[in-house]
């Protein structure tokens, strides 16, 4: 009885696998038929990539003597592309100089706020160290004024960082170049 059930189970599994294989074959045939109407895609090789890196055209160009007038127009197109590239490079360099000037301004404000925080913390520590003397001399400064000042400067510091990041984003600066030195 058990063997008959096992044989039935194995037979069902075998037929299921055949049906799955047939459906996969059918799907593959449909995909193949769909692709037959399309042109073959261009395959890029390492030689193509090396040619592009070297600045050579990806397709062989006709010889100038066989091209006739086309050679003159190609030369003018090449000159136009070179001028356009030089203009783009000059604009990019100008934008980088502008950002560097702005970044230096942001950095100076950031450094000033950071040094003010360090000064306030030092003064607070000194005040707390001298707390026992303050009780004897009530005219001396109490230490409770330092934490709000420090908190205000820390908020200013974050505002400077955010402002620099926003300025960099507006100027199209890459995130790695937009960070202030901490």
Distance in angstroms (rounded) separating the CA atoms of residues 103 and 114: 16
The domain segmentation of the chain, as residue ranges, is 108-175
The reply to whether the predicted model has a pTM over 0.75 is: no
Helix or strand or coil: residue 42?
A: coil
Neighbours of 78 (CB within 10 A): 10
The per-residue pLDDT for range 59-105, each reduced to its tens digit, is 555 555 544 555 566 778 888 888 899 999 898 888 888 988 999 99
- CA 89 to mean position of chain CA atoms: 21
3-state SS string over 44-105?
A: CCHHHHHHHHCCCCCCCCCCHHHHCHHHHHHHHHHHHHHHHHHHHHHHHHHHHHHHHHHHHH
Please check the confidence at residue 7 and state whether its pLDDT lies above 90. no
């Amino acid at each position: 009885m058990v063997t008959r059930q096992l044989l039935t189970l194995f037979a069902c599994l075998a037929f299921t696998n055949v049906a799955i294989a047939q459906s996969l074959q059918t799907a593959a045939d449909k995909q193949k038929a769909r692709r037959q109407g399309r042109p073959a895609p261009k395959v890029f090789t390492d030689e193509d990539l090396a040619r592009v890196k070297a600045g050579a055209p990806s397709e062989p160009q006709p010889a100038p003597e066989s091209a006739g007038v086309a050679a003159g127009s190609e030369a003018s197109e090449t000159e136009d592309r070179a001028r356009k590239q030089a203009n783009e490079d000059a604009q990019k360099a100008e934008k980088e100089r502008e950002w560097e000037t702005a970044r230096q301004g942001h950095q100076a404000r950031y450094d000033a706020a950071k040094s003010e925080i360090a000064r306030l913390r030092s003064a607070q520590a000194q005040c707390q160290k001298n707390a026992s003397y303050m009780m004897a001399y009530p005219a001396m400064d109490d230490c409770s004024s330092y934490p709000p000042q420090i908190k205000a400067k820390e908020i200013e510091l974050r505002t400077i960082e955010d402002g620099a990041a926003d300025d960099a984003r507006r100027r199209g600066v890459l995130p790695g170049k937009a960070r202030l030195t901490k």
